[in-house]
Amino acid sequence: MSERLLFTCTQNAVRSVIAEALFGQLTCSSDYQVSSCGVIEGAADGYAIAVMQEMGVDVSTHEARSFDSLSPSDFDRIISFSAEAHESAVRWASKGCKTELWAVHPPHLDERAREATLQSYRALRDEIAAKLKANFGAFVQKT
């Protein structure tokens, strides 16, 4: 049976969405069932969509979920990207479920400088990718 993994953040719009999508690019991804959620359901984030599209990964159809829409017994491990999500995960998780906080800061939004905002989202994407690689192994090589 594959390990059941949940990525969480505050709104399930940026960090957890990026992590879920990037996880699908790992060589070990078939060994896991992966999902994501937030403390609340946020709106789709255009910058997250854009920086993932740069990698050839489409997250534009992602529909935000909250803890309330999932069952704690469906997960063996929960990785949270915000303190708020981690606190919720610890309270919500079933007994025996491993909960972890991978603290990454949300991206910086600059309403006057689109490129600066995109750079912040790219840095966040790359930080999450590095954490995934360090904890789960290599990404599939694109040909």
What is the rounded CA–CA span in Å between residue 143 and residue 123? 24
Amino acid at 85: A
Binning pLDDT at 50, 70 and 90, where does residue 108 land?
A: confident
Residue 34 lies in a domain: yes
Domain count, the chain: 1
pTM (2 decimals)?
0.94
Q: Which range of residues forms the domain containing residue 101? A: 3-136
Q: What is the mean pLDDT of residues 35-51?
A: 96
Please count the CA atoms within 13 angstroms of the CA of 31 that sit on its side-chain side. Answer: 5
Does residue 36 register a pLDDT over 90? yes
Q: Per residue in 2-23, pLDDT tens?
A: 899 999 999 999 999 999 999 9
Does residue 52 register a pLDDT over 90? yes
Beta bridge partners of 134: none
What is the rounded CA–CA span in Å between residue 16 and residue 48? 10
Residue 54 lies in a domain: yes
How high is the mean pLDDT of the chain? 94
Centroid of chain to Cα 101: 12
Q: CA separation (Å) from 35 to 3, 90, 108, 109, 117?
A: 11, 17, 25, 26, 26
Residue 91 lies in a domain: yes
Residue 100 lies in a domain: yes
Domain CATH code at residue 64: 3.40.50.2300
Binning pLDDT at 50, 70 and 90, where does residue 1 land?
A: low
Relative to beta strand 77-80, strand 32-38 is unpaired
Residue 142 lies in a domain: no
pLDDT value of residue 105: 86
Q: What is the mean pLDDT of residues 87-93?
A: 98
